[in-house]
Amino acid sequence: MESIIAREGFWDNPEAATPLLKERTYLSERLETYRTLLSEVEDNELLAAMAVDEGDEHTMAEVEAQAESLAQRIHAYCLDMMLDGDQDANNAIVSINAGAGGTDAQDWAEMMFRMYLRWAEHRGFSTEIIDLQPGDEAGIKSTTFTVKGDHAYGYLRSETGVHRLVRISPFNAGGKRQTSFASVFVYPEVDSEIVVQIEEKDLRIDTFRASGAGGQHVNKTSSAVRITHLPTGIAVQCQQEKSQHRNKDMAMKVLRARLYQREKQKQDAELQQLHDSKEEIAWGSQIRSYVLHPYQLVKDHRTNMEIGNVNSVLDGQLDALIEGVLLAGIA
């Protein structure tokens, strides 16, 4: 990059120069951070060796404190290096769908919905519900919502897949153990500056009355909107707003994000495979299990990380699981 910038005529085209300068700054900062951390580690190792040779307990205590601080900074640096995808810095659009398990699965989907809302709250992220389909007896059939915050998509993309719950069913009079499934899919929210071509002739727009709670206005007018992109068959809907116009805008935003992701997946073999097998994944192997009976354990099957405090995970304490997947380079 430095050699390109040094070439004659580089500054003649400011529009072409700006992205390169921005990337150079990004990489330079990370390279400088690496060099600083490496230097501090080497200095600390040298100080530790001297302290051991001299039997200096005071210096050893100082070395231990510095080592703990360095470990935290190195962890944060490694995580930052894994959040370098093209769309990782974007907001996220999350879809949760109840799978096999009937009412239990719909209740599980609602539990997961709460879990991600709590996780976002812990991180200081904001959320907005785009669509929510209530279950027949309890829970939800599906929901789509946005998570807005720094690198929201980068973190949440690792949650895509099937999540399995094992528990004593509260909906079974016999108190039998029940296994339920819910699938999660995460899309990056597309920046308005990125152009996604959508022709009006390729859209079918349907309006209908919103279902579930929402007040008299929502239930008595056809404010809900469903948009189907005919060439791809992608359908999105929004019914949370009272205004049909607002619901249409939100649905178009989700459609644009999904079409953008679809194009990106054509260029990325790994993401393409994930997209093509989405239906199979929804009823197949899970990425994570949440066991409430006969013992309590959350296990991520990609990293084999296990957490015994299931309640804390269901309350949104997901950072260890998410970071474990990111640092393993799996997501």
| 180 lies in the same domain as 68 | no
Name the β-bridge partners of 127: 147
Give the residue with greater pLDDT, 194 vs 164: 164
| 157 lies in the same domain as 18 | no
Mean pLDDT, rounded, for 307-324: 97
pLDDT of residue 219: 55
| 78 lies in the same domain as 152 | no
pLDDT of residue 241: 81
> Do the beta carbons of residue 198 and residue 256 sit within 8 Å?
yes
| 249 lies in the same domain as 318 | yes
Share of the chain above pLDDT 90, in %: 58
| Contact residues for 321 (Cβ-Cβ < 8 A; gap 6+) | 288, 298, 300, 305, 307, 313
Q: Mean pLDDT across the chain, nearest whole number?
A: 87
Residue after which a domain boundary falls, among 20, 53, 82:
82
> Do the beta carbons of residue 300 and residue 175 sit within 8 Å?
no
Reported as a single tens digit per residue, the pLDDT across 227-269 is 999 998 999 999 888 888 889 989 998 998 888 877 777 656 5
Residue after which a domain boundary falls, among 65, 82, 99:
82
β-pairing, 288-291 vs 161-168, is parallel
User: Taking Cα atoms as reference points, which of 290, 297, 301, 296 lies closest to residue 324?
Assistant: 301
pLDDT bracket for residue 60 (50, 70, 90): very high
| 37 lies in the same domain as 62 | yes
| 117 lies in the same domain as 75 | no
| 171 lies in the same domain as 259 | yes
* DSSP characters over 276-312: HTHHHHHTS--SEEEE-SSS-EEEETTT--EES-HHH
User: Taking Cα atoms as reference points, which of 180, 105, 116, 182 lies closest to residue 149?
Assistant: 116
pLDDT of residue 281: 41
Please, what sign has the CA dihedral across residues 117, 118, 121, 123? negative
Mean pLDDT, rounded, for 156-163: 94
Residue 158: phi and psi, rounded to 5, are -75, -10
Peptide bond just before 170 cis, omega within 30 deg: no
For the ranges 98-102, 152-156, 312-316, the lowest mean pLDDT is seen at: 98-102
pLDDT bracket for residue 198 (50, 70, 90): confident
Residue after which a domain boundary falls, among 60, 82, 104:
82
Give the residue with greater pLDDT, 197 vs 27: 27
The domain of 32 spans 2-82
| 203 lies in the same domain as 62 | no
Reported as a single tens digit per residue, the pLDDT across 62-110 is 999 999 999 999 998 999 889 988 889 899 999 999 997 789 999 999 9
* DSSP characters over 242-256: S-HHHHHHHHHHHHH
What order do you get walking across the sheet with 234-238 strand by strand? 203-208, 224-229, 234-238
pLDDT of residue 46: 95
Mean pLDDT, rounded, for 153-166: 95
| 46 lies in the same domain as 184 | no
Q: Please measure the distance between the N-terminal and C-terminal CA atoms of the chain and give it in whole angstroms.
A: 28
Mean pLDDT, rounded, for 136-162: 94
Q: How many domains does the chain have?
A: 2
Where does the chain show beta strands of DSSP type E? 92-98, 126-134, 140-148, 161-168, 177-188, 203-208, 224-229, 234-238, 288-291, 297-300, 306-307
Residue 270 pLDDT more than 70?
Answer: no
Residue 282 pLDDT more than 80?
Answer: no
Query: What's the CATH code of the domain at 115?
Result: 3.30.70.1660
| 47 lies in the same domain as 100 | no
Mean pLDDT, rounded, for 11-15: 85
Residue 142 pLDDT more than 90?
Answer: yes
Q: Say which residue the tokens 């189907």 belong to.
A: 228
| 136 lies in the same domain as 155 | yes
pLDDT of residue 297: 97
| 122 lies in the same domain as 194 | yes
Count Cβ neighbours within 10 Å for each residue of 26-60 and write b for 16 or more, e otherwise. eeeeeeebeeeeeebeeebeebbeebeeeeeeeeb
Residue 113 pLDDT more than 60?
Answer: yes
Which amino acid, residue 254? V
